[in-house]
Chains A and B, each alone.
Chain A
């Protein structure tokens, strides 16, 4: 039973790892992350890499939707910008150091984020959702154009480079895993810290009551734009990792489906919480896998039966969004919180 945590000064109260369950939980999670690639199969590593990349992107979306309260249905486009920038950089300078490419892709995407954010000057909510959705279609349309095909490969997509660190090329899933995970952990910590200081608090204030934030001296427009930029930057980083992770990319990878998947991960996990993107992404990306297993079990590996996996996955995703919104609007994080509240009081109260 954990009844309470006693602190004797304010900075301890402000800390995020100040209580032992959190501290040791973090250590345990990091150790598990480090050991995982040595015991997992290649397929599991493929999934893990994908999940890691998505977590970065969803954490970015969380900055915008979860913390700033601005809706976006176009974040797939930022993913695309990050990925295609990485490919383009390697196309021009094949030997660029991967971290530099990552940073440049992130910055370029952040600039696109500012551009996307301009409508937020005038509109919010639904209008912004449609504006971002429109921007997503437009960006993909541009990527597919002939005059950019040298860098983007047009409609038919383009092969992507592997990351090369000091002559060592990251080819195996295991090697890529060790590139993705540190980036993910760092970016998550960064976001967590951001939202317990001045800037992050201002974004949350805008979400909760924009005019109230204004009279506290928070410039709405510039903060909204910065939020768009940060959020886009996270997706850009994810896109860059995506380009290094997969052998090729296609414009249609980054369409509306991707944008909505990101939102679904966020809603399922819990908006405005650091752990939300992690929980949500793991759940959502593992659903198709579980479906495949179920399908295989029912049909005994019959290949034709696989045709219903994809529509069933869509239905499940849709039902999950609706289900979470109706029954658990705060997402998986809320279940997690309830569990720990229960544990800390057990056996005396529920």
Chain B
């Protein structure tokens, strides 16, 4: 039982990360009807940007010392000689990393936003009006462009980057079971859920949210009604790239920086299809489900099986419900 709850918790945490990645795919699809196969690689770039701005840049010789390691007197006093792995030591080391984390996040968000706007302007927009097939393929092409570029620019492998939140083990008891999790994971979970919820609220209640939803329903009618459709497209790509940058930072701090992050994006695509391409709620459910299933598979069947869980799950779901849990079926008029 204790094991079970432990793996449930792990599942929910990885599910929330899946949801965070899926967010970008759904946002772009809702607005532009393009399924971005390269979203994982957009995240990969986010991760590399975060690495650049939080590790490479602060350590450069021209940067002031406090950026790479901020150690005011009060912080040293707070840390004192707290034992390793204690919450106090973890928080102290997090605070001293704070300047580089903030610099990294801001830099990654900005750089990824520029990248996404360029992709939207120079790749997706010229293809406007082409078949869905051409759109999909061009994002498949993007996978290679991004992966190759990342390989050229950042030759580093498996680098470590600072985590977004203080990282210390939390032990607690539930139903008389000893359970365990890292505070860093908890922070990641909260960040993911916060972003997911706020995007849903923005779509529902703001002007630009309504513009996006109108465009999702019918591009040409939305255009005719005076909605600036190209700007909606750019907005959607902005949302995808910035949430992607956060996701990249989190993923890189969890599992190290490597091109595998791009492949992770592909498995999220499977999750998105499971939930229904245009439904945030469906995708959230699917993410949690796959997260938990993978975690259970890891527990009972080993890590190798866990990796293909999303793919098996999506095949099963597509065969039973072709448009996912909550996706809208397109009706063809004859």
Indicate yes or no for A touching B, C-beta below 8 A.
Answer: yes
Identify the closest chain A residue to B153 (Cβ): A311
Contact across chains for B152 and A325 when beta carbons are under 8 A apart: no
Which single residue of chain B is at the shortest CB-CB distance from A126?
B35
Whether the Cβ atoms of A318 and B314 lie closer than 8 Å is: no
The answer, yes or no, to whether B138 is at the interface (CB within 8 Å) is yes
Interface residues of A in 297-350 (CB under 8 A from B): 307-308, 310-322, 325-326, 329
* Cα(A310)–Cα(B149), bound, Å: 11
Partner of B132, one of A119, A126, A137, A317: A126
Residues of B within 8 A of A137 (CB): 308, 311
Closest to B146 in A: A318
The chain B residue sitting closest to A266, CB to CB, is B137
A130 to B143 Cα, complex, angstroms: 15
In the complex, which of the residues B142, B144, B312 contacts A134, with contact meaning CB atoms closer than 8 Å?
A: B312
Chain B residues near A322: list those with CB within 8 A. 123, 138, 141-142, 145
In Å, the complex CA distance between A260 and B152 comes to 21
Closest to B143 in A: A318
- Are B152 and A311 interface neighbours, CB within 8 A? yes
The answer to whether A118 and B147 have CB atoms under 8 Å apart is no
**B72 in contact (CB, < 8 A):** no
C-alpha spacing A164/B144, complex, angstroms: 39
The docked-state distance in angstroms from the alpha carbon of A137 to that of B266 is 11
B residues less than 8 Å from A141 (CB atoms): 304, 307-308
| Residue B179 CB within 8 A of the other chain | no
Which B residues, 115 to 141, have Cβ-Cβ distances below 8 Å to chain A? Answer: 123, 126-127, 130, 132-134, 136-138, 140-141
Given contacts A326-B126, A326-B127, contact A314 B311 (CB under 8 A): no
Does the CB pair B144–A260 fall under 8 Å?
yes
Within 8 Å of chain A (Cβ to Cβ): is B77? no
Task: Give the residue name and chain of the B residue nearest to A136 (CB).
Answer: B311
Cβ-defined partner of B137 (8 Å) among A121, A263, A307: A263
**Interface residues, chain B, CB within 8 Å of chain A?**
35, 123, 126-127, 130, 132-134, 136-138, 140-152, 155, 263, 266, 269-270, 273, 277, 304, 307-308, 310-312, 314-315, 318-319, 322-323, 332, 334
Which A residues form the contact surface with B (CB < 8 A)? 71, 73, 118-119, 121-123, 125-127, 129-131, 133-135, 137-138, 141, 144, 211, 256, 260, 263-264, 267, 307-308, 310-322, 325-326, 329
Contacts of A312 in B (CB 8 A): 148, 152
Partner of A318, one of B141, B270, B308: B141
> 17 A-B contacts, Cβ less than 8 Å apart?
A127-B273, A130-B269, A130-B270, A131-B318, A134-B314, A211-B332, A264-B141, A311-B151, A312-B148, A314-B144, A315-B149, A315-B152, A317-B144, A321-B144, A322-B145, A325-B137, A329-B130
Q: Which of A123, A130, A264, A314 contacts B148 (CB 8 A)?
A: A314
B145 and A315 contact, CB distance less than 8 A: yes
Determine the chain B residues whose CB is within 8 A of the CB of A308 once the complex forms.
152
Inter-subunit contact A130/B273 (CB<8 Å): yes
- What's the minimum C-beta distance from B228 to chain A, rounded to whole angstroms? 23
A131 touching B148 by the CB < 8 A rule? no
Contact indicator B312/A73 (Cβ below 8 Å): no
**Which of A308, A310, A321 has the largest count of B CB atoms less than 10 A from its CB?**
A321
**CB-based contact B140/A321 at 8 Å:** yes
For A130, list chain B residues within 8 Å (CB): 269-270, 273, 314, 318
Do the beta carbons of A131 and B138 come within 8 Å of each other?
A: no
Q: Nearest chain B CB to A171's CB is how many angstroms away?
A: 35
Q: Once bound together, how far apart are the Cα atoms of A256 and B334, in whole Å?
A: 37
- Per the bound structure, the CA–CA distance linking A321 and B127 in Å amounts to 12
- Once the chains are docked, how many angstroms separate the CA of A137 from the CA of B314? 12
Q: List chain A residues, Cβ under 8 A from B150.
A: 311
A118 x B319 contact (CB < 8 A):
yes
**Could you tell me the distance in whole angstroms from the C-beta of A260 to the nearest C-beta in chain B?**
6
Minimum CB–CB distance from A118 to chain B (whole Å) comes to 7
Contact across chains for B322 and A123 when beta carbons are under 8 A apart: yes
- What residue in chain A is nearest B308 (Cβ atoms)? A141
CB distance from A87 to the nearest CB of B (A): 22
Chain A hits for B123, CB < 8 A: 322, 326
A316 to B136, CA, bound (A): 18
CB–CB B145/A318 < 8 A? yes
Q: Do A138 and B273 form a contact, CB below 8 Å, given A314-B144, A326-B126?
A: no
B332 near A319: Cβ-Cβ < 8 Å: no
Cα A321 to Cα B266 in complex, Å, equals 19
State how many angstroms separate the Cβ of A279 from the closest Cβ of chain B.
Answer: 17
Docked pose: A308 CA to B142 CA in angstroms: 18
| Chain B residues, Cβ within 8 Å of A122 | 318-319, 322
- Given A134-B311, A310-B151, A329-B134, 13 other A-B contacts at CB below 8 A? A123-B322, A127-B318, A130-B270, A133-B266, A137-B311, A141-B304, A141-B308, A144-B304, A311-B152, A314-B151, A318-B144, A325-B138, A326-B127
Query: Which chain A positions have C-beta within 8 A of B152?
Result: 308, 311-312, 315
Complex Cα–Cα for A263 and B319 (A): 24
Query: Quick check: A256 and B134 within 8 Å, CB to CB?
Result: no
Q: How far is the CB of A141 from chain B (nearest CB, A)?
A: 5
- Report the Cα distance A122→B310, complex, angstroms: 19
Known: A71-B136, A126-B132, A130-B270. A313 touches B148 (CB 8 A): yes
Interface-central residue, A311, A319, A322, by most chain B CB under 10 Å: A322
Instruction: Known A133-B266, A138-B308; judge A325-B130 contact (CB<8 A).
Output: yes
